[in-house]
Structure 1
Amino acid sequence: RPTWESGTHTQSPAAHSGSRAGGSLSRISRKLCSGKLGIALKVLGGVALFWAVFILGYVTGYYVHKCK
């Protein structure tokens, strides 16, 4: 009997092979998102985002308000 008819969903053993990779990704994610390293990355990301938006706005404003 197919699993879609019984209402229960089963996964094949191949679906569980990525759990080891997912564990290492979550470990890296925890390391990068918490502690001093995480705070430093968030600050650097915020500064980089600020400058990207600032430069984009400056260039856009230059071309919008350029004298003809």
Structure 2
Amino acid sequence: MESDGAGSVQYDRWNEDNINMNVEPSQSAVRRIYNRVCVGSTGVVLKSGAAIAALVSVYIIGYVTGYYVHRC
């Protein structure tokens, strides 16, 4: 009954247990940079450095502002 012609398709070779439909979507460049920089120990170091830089900049701005305010 089955023909071995060019138009026939053999579906009995499919093993449905081995088909993986959980394919991760491709990530954007911004998301890859975020995952590389902001997650894990690198993220902790980067966030700590940013916090220290922010505190130092606020200190310098306050120092310069106080100098010019109390100059006279």
Tell me, yes or no, if structure 1 residue 35 matches structure 2 residue 40.
Answer: yes
Q: For residue 7 of structure 1, what is the aligned residue in structure 2?
A: none
Query: What's the CA shift for 1:38?
Result: 0.5
Query: What's the CA shift for 1:23?
Result: 1.5
Q: Any unmatched runs of 5+ in structure 1? A: 1-19
TM-score (norm 2): 0.59
Greater gyration radius: 2
Q: For residue 66 of structure 1, what is the aligned residue in structure 2?
A: 71
Query: What's the CA shift for 1:45?
Result: 0.3
Distance 1:53 1:24 in 2: 32
Tell me, yes or no, if structure 1 residue 52 matches structure 2 residue 66.
Answer: no
| Deviant stretches of 4+, over 2 Å | none
Distance 1:64 1:44 in 2: 30
Q: Cα RMSD over matched residues?
A: 1.5
Q: Any unmatched runs of 5+ in structure 2? A: 1-25
Matched pairs, number: 47
